Amino acid sequence: METLLLSAEEVRSLITMGEAINAVEEAFRLYALSKALMPPKVYLCFENGDLRAMPASIMGYAGVKWVNSHPENPGRGMPSVMAVLVLNDPTTGFPLAVMDATFLTSLRTGAAGGVAIKHLARKNSEIFGFVGCGKQARYQLLAAMEVCNVELVKAYDVNKRAEEKFREFCESLGVECKFKELEKVCDCDVLVTTTPSTKPIVKSKWVAEGTHINAIGADAPGKQELEIEILKRAKIVVDDIHQALHGGEINVAVSNGLISEKDIHATLGEVAAGLKRGREGNEITIFDSTGLAIQDIAVAKIVYEKAIEMSAGRRIRLVETE
């Protein structure tokens, strides 16, 4: 028996953002209905970063993503985040495929934002504010364009080069992008935050009723992008309650006793499955994204099945099977 090897370039060619959004939405729904297995992440922490093992089983497949986070890597000429995914047959345990998951991580994170906008933003949302203009902002925009008519992007980043590159990306998609002061960026229909901040940078007084916020940046204890008063005003929807409490946007407010688990309205899966309501009227909604292994397996499933159909990748005898 042979295992399929898929490079970054091959993976990128085998899945679209639209397909990723549909797969991630279904993964959230199945997880809410207890039709998926997802143990907690396992961390190996080092002085300059960490490695994380993210296992899950869903949609007839099992697997694990092995992903790093090393913030100083760009100074070494390497990405901060790199990932490899092993996809297994849950019946036999055989490794069906080993594939690059760096692109898949960015794609599925953007796709989750798209699912959140679909269920939590106002249907006529057209003005999108981006706080942080790095790689993930691009994937959030691509996802937003799948579910909304994006007329105008307002963007802010402390790194002006990142702002300029994001503007060029927007223009390549035919979307107008204007740089604004941080306060003005927050005056929008949908606000997307993708920074590594450990202190609130978006103030409550800047956020109007009816705004939806995709809070993407906070993915570890101590990180936060939103002023806690915004959390108190908003309907909070998370991808996973345990992960959000410990490392999502809400983690600082919870650890300081300013909000608690009871202030979480729902998981995004519960909303997608119709178990809890999404947007109701002109309220502020927040999607607190931490990133789930079920998302990785859901998009890897598409990549693997398309690769088989199109004879993509390279097959090797990776493990002894006799």
Summarised one tens digit per residue, pLDDT across range 4-27 is 999 999 999 999 999 999 999 999
What is the percentage of the chain residues whose pLDDT exceeds 70?
100
Of the candidates 91, 132, 116, 319, the residue with the CA atom closest to the CA atom of residue 225: 132
Classify domain 3-105+294-316 by CATH number.
Answer: 3.30.1780.10
pLDDT tens string 190-201: 999 999 899 999
Q: 71 or 58: which carries more pLDDT confidence?
A: 58
Q: How confident is the model at residue 172 (pLDDT cuts 50, 70, 90)?
A: very high
Of the candidates 239, 299, 272, the residue with the CA atom closest to the CA atom of residue 19: 299
Q: Is the separation of the CB atoms in 271 and 120 below 8 Å? A: yes
Q: Indicate the domain borders of the chain.
A: 3-105+294-316, 122-291
Classify domain 122-291 by CATH number.
Answer: 3.40.50.720
What is the maximal distance between C-alpha atoms in the chain? 66
**Same CATH topology for 3-105+294-316 and 122-291?**
no
- Active-site residue identified among 41, 65, 118, 154: 65
The pLDDT of 247-276, averaged and rounded, is 97
User: How many degrees, rounded to 5, is the angle at CA 144 between CA 30 and CA 281?
Assistant: 75
pLDDT (0 to 100) of residue 321: 86
The overall pTM is greater than 0.75: yes
Q: Is the separation of the CB atoms in 30 and 268 below 8 Å? A: no
H/E element holding 153?
strand 152-156
Using DSSP bridges, classify how beta strands 61-69 and 49-58 pair: parallel, antiparallel or unpaired. antiparallel
CA 26 to chain CA centroid, nearest Å? 15
User: How many degrees, rounded to 5, is the angle at CA 281 between CA 17 and CA 239?
Assistant: 40
Burial (CB count within 10 angstroms: exposed 0-12, middle 13-18, buried 19+), residue 168 = exposed
Q: Reply yes or no on whether 184 is catalytic.
A: no
Of the candidates 169, 200, 203, the residue with the CA atom closest to the CA atom of residue 185: 203
Kindly report the average pLDDT of the chain as a whole number: 96
